[in-house]
Amino acid sequence: MGDIGLNRRQLLLAGAGLLATAYGLSGCTVERPIDKSAAGDVVEPKIDGDLMIFNWAQYMDPSIKKSFADKYGVAVNEVNFDNLEAMMTKLRAGGSYDLIFPSTEYVLRLRNEQLIRPFNRSRLKNADTLSKFYDDPWYDPNSEFSVPYAYYTTGIAWNTNEVDTLTGSWNDLSNEQAWGRIFMLDDFQEGIGQANLLNGFYLNTDKSDQLQTSKDTLLDQKKGLRGFSTNSVQNLVSGAAALTQAWNGDVVNARNQVDDPSIFAYETCKEGVPVGSDLMCIPITSKSPGTAMMFMDWVLKPENAYKNVMWNGYPMPVAGGREAFAKLVKDDPSIDVNLDQLADSAMEYRLDSPEARQEWTRIWTEVKA
């Protein structure tokens, strides 16, 4: 040791350099500011280049991309993200994508950060049949920046061969028959949210004493868990889960993968049913925003919406999509989403202040630790 080739003086110099760098960086964000000059320009629907889609994996029927590519003579490429935070990071760093699929809360964040571009929804031919809720939603007044892609509820799914003592409450996450083989969604909002509802609090409460109570609830529930996971389909189908907190579309997918679909049932809970939507937006880094808008319209076309819902199991709030989902869940209406639920923004996850967001993530970390 001691022979790294640095003497005292060089070491001091290096230290000073590091300090100077840190001082120079102070106040800067991790990502270098990107060119946001396009943030105000309204996008026009016209083919202006190839398309790069940035989406969850397995969330769109590939045949819809192919038919669009064939019709308009452009390439339609797709890359995937694992979580919305990673998507944000890539966008902030200037990654160029033409179409992204954020949740409602992330649309608001993207809008506030000027990372998405406005477009005129009336220029979309297939937007007329969209559910009224999306005309003027809380996260995007007048719907200038987003159109809906899919929506979902959060509830509890279980294997009917193993569990038959459900009560229609979030308390079922501590069901005794399923004890030790229960999964909770590995998502801080879904985890804390159901505990808030169970305790009779507002879904998105930011009151510290209430969050503490919900943390204790979660620590109790954790004792019966087999794990935290968002991979509900695999957990149900592989038999690892007797019961799991789940998004309704995943239950449709799990039922599609077994010989007897009736072994998987789904309930929404009386204390409250969280609802969510995924939207389509055009990032300001898009190189082909016009093509992206044309593609949005293509996805909302009734026959494409129908095909897509049959493929991914999640309802789309547009003509064609609604009919397809009704067909998928005709044997188990509990999986369906009542459109009135969508209008209830108290049942959507939204943490309006950064402080609340930090407190929630800290509590979730403490629960998982």
Contacting positions for other proteins (CB under 8 A) = 1, 18, 21-22, 25-31, 82-83, 85-86, 88, 92, 109, 112-113, 180-181, 187-188, 222, 225-228, 238-240, 354, 357-358, 361-362, 364-366, 368-369
Nearer to other proteins, 144 or 186 (CB): 186
Q: Minimum distance between the CB of residue 22 and other proteins, rounded to whole angstroms?
A: 5
Q: Minimum distance between the CB of residue 324 and other proteins, rounded to whole angstroms?
A: 31
What whole-number distance in Å separates Cα of residue 318 and Cα of residue 307? 12
Nearer to other proteins, 240 or 263 (CB): 240
Q: Minimum distance between the CB of residue 285 and other proteins, rounded to whole angstroms?
A: 16
In one letter, which amino acid is 116? I
What whole-number distance in Å separates Cα of residue 306 and Cα of residue 97? 26
Nearer to other proteins, 50 or 359 (CB): 359
Q: Is 145 exposed, middle or buried (0-12, 13-18, 19+ CB in 10 A)?
A: buried
Q: Minimum distance between the CB of residue 321 and other proteins, rounded to whole angstroms?
A: 30
What whole-number distance in Å separates Cα of residue 359 and Cα of residue 188? 11
Distances from the Cα of 36 to the Cα of 101, 112, 124, 332, angstroms: 20, 12, 25, 47
Nearer to other proteins, 16 or 18 (CB): 18
Q: Is 209 exposed, middle or buried (0-12, 13-18, 19+ CB in 10 A)?
A: exposed
Contact 165, 286 (CB under 8 A): no
What whole-number distance in Å separates Cα of residue 173 and Cα of residue 179? 9
Q: Minimum distance between the CB of residue 79 and other proteins, rounded to whole angstroms?
A: 16
Nearer to other proteins, 27 or 73 (CB): 27
Nearer to other proteins, 129 or 361 (CB): 361
Q: Minimum distance between the CB of residue 147 and other proteins, rounded to whole angstroms?
A: 24
